[in-house]
Structure 1
Amino acid sequence: MIRKITFLLLFSCLSIPVFSQSNLKTENVILITLDGFRWQELYTGIDAGLMNNEEYVENQDHLKELYWAENPELRREKLMPFFWTTIAREGQLYGNRNAGNHVNVTNGLFFSYPGYNEILTGYADEKVDSNDKIWNPNKTVLEFVNEQPEFAGKVAAFASWDVFPFIINSQRSGIPVNAGFEPVEGTELTDRERFLNELISEIPSPWGTVRLDAFTHHYALEHLKTDKPRLLYVAYGETDDFAHDGDYEAYIKSANQTDRFIRQLWEFVQEEEQYRGKTTFIITTDHGRGTEPTDQWRHHGADVDGADEIWIAAIGPDTPALGELGESGQLYQNQIAKTVAELLGLNYQNKVVVGDAINTIIQNSN
């Protein structure tokens, strides 16, 4: 009898369906991250104290002319116009703590590799405790999706930080990950890809491990055009590095440029038959930053108050237009992976329990 029960339990575990029963319009997902971009700027726009601080901004009048307004709603729209003219009207935004809506990291470390592991696997792993180039032992939702026959070969990632091949474990997963200063490879490159490959070695980056986001963006856009992935991950990185440098002007301008990049991706998918009306964007960040004392905006980590505070945005055919979510909301970083999978009709599980899907993002979720 004991053997029979054990067998039945094992059979039950092995029989968990990969495909969910959801009846969704979404057939493609684009997951996007902005490294270390604070919820404060997303929801209230440029920070007056930092903007007027000579230590962090050289050309204060110029920055004020571009992004300042007395009203925080106007300020945030100046800074992130796509978020506030399109996502806020057609999608959803979470994490405005001033409105009582919270999104938090659960890994306890509040820096990049642990954050991206949590985003992509759906759980925090205490063994992922550095930013070192170590092959991730954990399977990401990207790898899980790529294992399904319907999606095999239709998953890809483009990232500015050169650690991403290790985070996604491209060696084991087989997922193409173009990151850092590596050119794209292939026998049938487009003219633009060949041009980008030339420029990437000719235009110096301010950092040794992070390329400029324009390369990441245009490589990803070309891949969308030519390879038509079903799940694409785009990881922009400049905001975090400019913040660490203490360059608030560059941090702000990079965020504004990234907003334009995301708009370009969104407008492209609205023009393509495969993607139009069938694609959901999920946008988030790996960690927050400090606020007090003032210099803490440059930093994050377990000893920085507020570095666990993040945000999430979503827009797509199965995401009701709820706009900015208000009071009594609490979401976590570990919920993103399962949300991505469920939007694709998949029942994502891993070796440990993962965070629940965000049901408000998925209108027809069962």
Structure 2
Amino acid sequence: MRLYILIASLFVCTAAAAQPAQNLILVTLDGVRWQEVFNGADSTLLFDPAYSRDTASARSQFWAGSAIERRKRLLPFLWNTIGQQGQLYGNRQQGNRMNVSNPHWFSYPGYNEILSGYADDRIKSNDKIDNPNVTVLEFLNQQPGFAGKVAVFSSWDVIEAAVNEKRSGIYASSANEPGNPVTATDSLLSDLTALYPREFGNGVRADFLTYFSARQYVKQKQPRVLFLSFDETDDLAHAGRYLDHLRMVQSIDTYLGNLWQLIQSMPQYAGKTALLITTDHGRGHTPKARWKDHGTKTPDSYQIWLAALGTGIQPAGEQKDGPLLFQSQIAATIARLLGFDFKADHPVGAAIGTSTGANR
């Protein structure tokens, strides 16, 4: 019983608890495995020159004698801040599990499930087709005080279809589309976006540009809901570049630490904001070459993880045991943290820990 009570304490935005968050930031790291999140670098990939071109540098930067040390090297913000002040889910070695519900185990189906709370089998490719489902972002954009205060910044251009920018009216800055610069900083970011090499094609913006564009928007517009979606972690993994993948994961962790520090300095956000971090899918792990892949032909790539920090979230740290959680529960959880009950024409997974049977 104690474990179920702990799960139920994750999101406590109820009438009997503190006031709900006024703002929320959702972050996705495309295709980042739970294995690295909870164990740090994988020695079988880190020390293999086929995956890490400079094994000496790889060892110096990411290796340590224990999983606890390795994961802190890889993700210092996640473990030193969220691990102490928030909660982390998905360490299967500790009996704590989180899965996707959709049967495809790749990106667009995962993003739809995160955002709509529904594993819709109509979404079964990564084609840039507008999402037929109302997402929690669209729902929130229709609520009093949130209209025009929901924004999306994504490295991958398909995300603007996943949030259905056209129908929802949500502001979405995606991939390498041109901006409308107002300040000198805006102009610099616009120039960098236009001129920086597009290593993974025109449909992908460099993650650092996505981050700094989003940070500038937060400073200028102060959105109440921000969806920040990074992509290069998955591209580097598909390319078999494990060391570069880890460096990108670490860079994004640094960006998130910087963003959290920024919002604590802003009255709009300080003490009023929840942060959720997750992934769209997992990756393979055995044999080690399967790390490059995911999808139904890659066993266990349905396995995901979740980190949570801020208003409405108890500081309970890394979770052990407990019921199985699903990606489809994230959308309703986002709404619940902000004090809403997400309803749509399609089925919606129950908010985590907020109603009987929600975690089954």
SS of equivalent to 2:195: coil
- Displacement of 1:23 after TM fit? 4.9
Percent of aligned pairs sharing the same letter: 44
- Counterpart residue number, 1:319: 313
Unaligned runs of 5+ in 1: 1-18, 361-366
- Displacement of 1:328 after TM fit? 2.9
Answer yes or no: is the 8 Å Cα contact 2:20–2:339 preserved in 1: no
After superposition, the CA RMSD in angstroms is 1.3
- Counterpart residue number, 1:192: 185
Aligned match for 2:47, one of 44, 52, 55: 52
Separation in 2, partners of 1:24, 1:245:
45
Aligned residues: 340
- Counterpart residue number, 1:244: 238
- Displacement of 1:25 after TM fit? 4.1
Separation in 1, partners of 2:85, 2:93:
22
Structure with greater Cα Rg:
1
Given the alignment of the two structures, is residue 69 of structure 1 paired with residue 61 of structure 2, yes or no?
A: no
- Counterpart residue number, 2:207: 213
Separation in 2, partners of 1:150, 1:20:
19
What amino acid sits opposite 1:258 in the alignment? I
Answer yes or no: is the 8 Å Cα contact 1:25–1:277 preserved in 2: no
1:294-309 residue pairs with structure 2 within 5 A?
294-309=288-303
1:333-348 residue pairs with structure 2 within 5 A?
333-348=327-342
- TM-superposition CA deviations, 1:202-245 (whole Å, max 9, x none): 11121112111011101110111110101000001110000001
Answer yes or no: is the 8 Å Cα contact 2:133–2:346 preserved in 1: no
What amino acid sits opposite 1:197 in the alignment? S
- Counterpart residue number, 2:263: 269
Answer yes or no: is the 8 Å Cα contact 1:205–1:212 preserved in 2: yes
Given the alignment of the two structures, is residue 102 of structure 1 paired with residue 82 of structure 2, yes or no?
A: no
- Displacement of 1:20 after TM fit? 7.7
Aligned match for 2:349, one of 341, 349, 355: 355
Separation in 2, partners of 1:171, 1:232:
17
Separation in 2, partners of 1:236, 1:183:
18
- Displacement of 1:329 after TM fit? 3.6
Answer yes or no: is the 8 Å Cα contact 2:140–2:147 preserved in 1: yes
Given the alignment of the two structures, is residue 135 of structure 1 paired with residue 122 of structure 2, yes or no?
A: no
Separation in 2, partners of 1:127, 1:185:
35
What amino acid sits opposite 1:191 in the alignment? A
SS of equivalent to 1:352: coil
- Displacement of 1:190 after TM fit? 2.6
Separation in 2, partners of 1:152, 1:200:
28
SS of equivalent to 1:73: helix
Separation in 2, partners of 1:111, 1:152:
31
Separation in 2, partners of 1:351, 1:239:
33
- Counterpart residue number, 1:283: 277
What amino acid sits opposite 1:335 in the alignment? Q
- Counterpart residue number, 1:41: 36
Separation in 1, partners of 2:313, 2:215:
23
- Displacement of 1:327 after TM fit? 1.4
SS of equivalent to 2:277: strand
Separation in 2, partners of 1:144, 1:95:
27
Separation in 1, partners of 2:338, 2:135:
15
- Displacement of 1:355 after TM fit? 0.9
- Displacement of 1:109 after TM fit? 0.2
TM-score by length of 1: 0.91
Answer yes or no: is the 8 Å Cα contact 1:100–1:329 preserved in 2: no
Separation in 2, partners of 1:280, 1:165:
23
- Counterpart residue number, 1:228: 222
Unaligned runs of 5+ in 2: 1-12, 355-360
- Counterpart residue number, 1:4: none
- TM-superposition CA deviations, 1:35-79 (whole Å, max 9, x none): 000000000000000011111111000011011001110000000
1:25/1:140 CA distance change after superposition, 3 Å: closer
